[in-house]
Amino acid sequence: MRILYFDCLSGISGDMTVGALCDLGVKPSALEWELSKIELGDYHMHFERQARHAIEGVKFGIHEGATHTPDQDEDHGHHHHHEHEHGHDHDHNKAHEHVHEHGHEGCTCGHAHHEHEHEHAHEEHGHSHEHGHEHTHEHGEHEHAHGRTHAEIRALIEASDLSAFVKVHALSIFHRIAVAEGKIHGKTPEEVAFHEVGALDSIADIICACVGIELLGVDQVRFSPLTEGHGWVDCAHGRFPVPAPATLEILTGIPLGQVDEPYEFITPTGAAIAAEFGASFGVMPSMRLSKIGYGVGSRKLESRPNVLRAILGETDEPGRAPYLTDTVLRVQTDLDDLSPEIAGNVVNRLLAAGALDASLLPLQMKKGRPGLQLNVLCAEETLPKLADVIFSETTAFGLRMDRVDRWKLDRRFEKVQTPFGEITVKLGLRGGEVIQRAPEYESCREASERAGQPLRVVYEAAIKAAEGLK
């Protein structure tokens, strides 16, 4: 099994993750190309080698605008030598990649507006920072106080040509952050307006982290126990303790400790990346090491190098098939006094209210009475709405629930031509290979009615037409 292990000795942030992946061998030009698939306006990316406590790694940054001017460099006290790498033929005015070499440790990339400067740059540049909430950063003469809503970011990602792997994990990462922010502020995930996490730099960090992990072709990602600093963050809404509220919500169930450093080590974005990809959180497993990389943070800490270490290795464990994974809630209740007609309607109501799946199983209850067991799979944020449906539409007095992990095929929809017209088919993919083909019922039903043919005949024609899809 090929394993990617993140040693979070100084916490984790999005830009440090991207830097560590690049130091492991992910080409900056590949990240530039993939990020260009999303409509983010004009920007330029840059990657530079820096050192913290004599450990050298990659410092990643991204800025708005089509060019990086000498004035920007001078504003932050350093000069760049640019080595342009463009591995693809696309619009280079949209995203310019700069690889910078520095001969002294004191250089910073002037990336002060970046949330993922890992909180270690803010004091140096005089920022008032509200972590995960609305705030304004000053970068030279530019001010950044904009962001996007959760719905806007989801639409951008879904409309892009990014791979299924990147789409699924990037959407899940943003969803984790939206759920955490919504819980803190008493809003649903859809109502959450991202400011810092909705800005260009945060979107770039999340997309590039997902791209980099996919390009490394690992079977599993593991993390060390996460380390956080302590103290307070001054915010527009007042003072928040470190860890920030959103970070704590995202890391629920994940090992977390604090060290005696008065800074924030873990950003909400870094926390969400760890929560999304982390198969385990503990000491590094026994493995044959193949490569080590370092992602560099901005602040120079006194007690430790401000780096994120990424380690590639091989174990003798069998590799896992490339399925998609997630964790959902399983909700159950037993019913012995519900008519079949009402029970069937409850399933339809639950699916319409956002349940991922709902089913009824026959059950023998106490005193030999026949009954039904209602099973519902759902995302955590939809539970209150689904509970309202169950309690109002059934005779249930209580619900039991647990969290379950799922392995899933990636999915895509295609339209196929049949003698009965165009029909939508759902494809199930494993590692990019189509292994399941299922015509959509409603599409087949409509074609059956139009053609005056049995539904079975239309269904079989759709299966045959889908055989050539890959």
pLDDT digit string, tens, across residues 110-119: 333 343 344 4
* Inter-residue contact 227 to 257 (CB < 8 Å): yes
User: What is the average per-residue pLDDT within 275-294?
Assistant: 93
CB-CB contact of 307 with 56 (8 Å): no
Q: How far apart are CA 147 and CA 135, in angstroms?
A: 10
Residue 65, CA distances (Å) to 33, 42, 159, 304, 310 in order: 17, 5, 23, 34, 30
Confidence of residue 102 (pLDDT cuts 50, 70, 90): very low
pLDDT tens column, 21-74:
999 999 999 999 999 999 888 888 889 998 888 889 999 988 887 655 444 433
Task: Give the pLDDT score at 59.
Answer: 93
The yes or no reply on domain 324-408 and CATH 3.20.20.70 is no
Q: Is 426 helix (H, G, I), strand (E, B) or coil?
A: strand
Q: Other CB atoms closer than 10 Å to residue 361's CB: what's the count? A: 11
All CATH 3.30.70.1380 domain ranges of the chain, comma separated, are 324-408
Classify strands 370-378 and 410-418 as parallel, antiparallel or unpaired: unpaired
Confidence band of 238 (pLDDT split at 50, 70, 90): low
pLDDT band at 193 (very low <50, low <70, confident <90, very high): low
Is residue 365 helix, strand or coil?
coil
Q: What is the pLDDT of residue 319?
A: 65
Nearest to 11 by CA among 286, 256, 176, 352: 256
pLDDT for 156 beyond 60 = yes
The Cβ-side half-sphere exposure at 146, using a 13 Å CA radius, reads 9
- Cross-strand pairs, 417: 422
pTM (2 d.p.):
0.58
Tell me the mean pLDDT in the region 190-207: 73
Which CATH number applies to 410-466? 3.10.20.300
pLDDT band at 444 (very low <50, low <70, confident <90, very high): very high
pLDDT at 312 > cutoff 90: yes
Mean pLDDT throughout 240-246?
Answer: 86
Per-residue pLDDT band for 242 (boundaries 50, 70, 90) equals confident
* Residue 80 reports pLDDT greater than 90: no
Give me the mean pLDDT over the 312-339 stretch. 83
Residue 279 reports pLDDT greater than 90: no
Q: What angle do CA 404, 408, 410 make, to 5 degrees?
A: 150
What's the rounded Cα separation, in Å, for the pair 222 and 384? Answer: 32
When computed from its CA atoms, the radius of gyration of the chain, rounded to whole angstroms, is 25
Flag whether pLDDT at 336 surpasses 90.
no
- Cα separation of 15 and 56, whole Å? 15
Percent of the chain whose predicted confidence (pLDDT) is above 90: 43
Instruction: Look at residue 314 in the predicted model and tell me its pLDDT.
Output: 92
Cβ neighbours around 432 below 10 Å, total: 11
The pLDDT of residue 93 is: 37
Q: Are 246 and 182 in contact (CB under 8 A)?
A: no
Reported as a pLDDT band with limits 50, 70 and 90, residue 98 is very low
Between residues 144 and 138, the one the model is more confident about: 144
pLDDT for residue 430 is more than 70 = yes
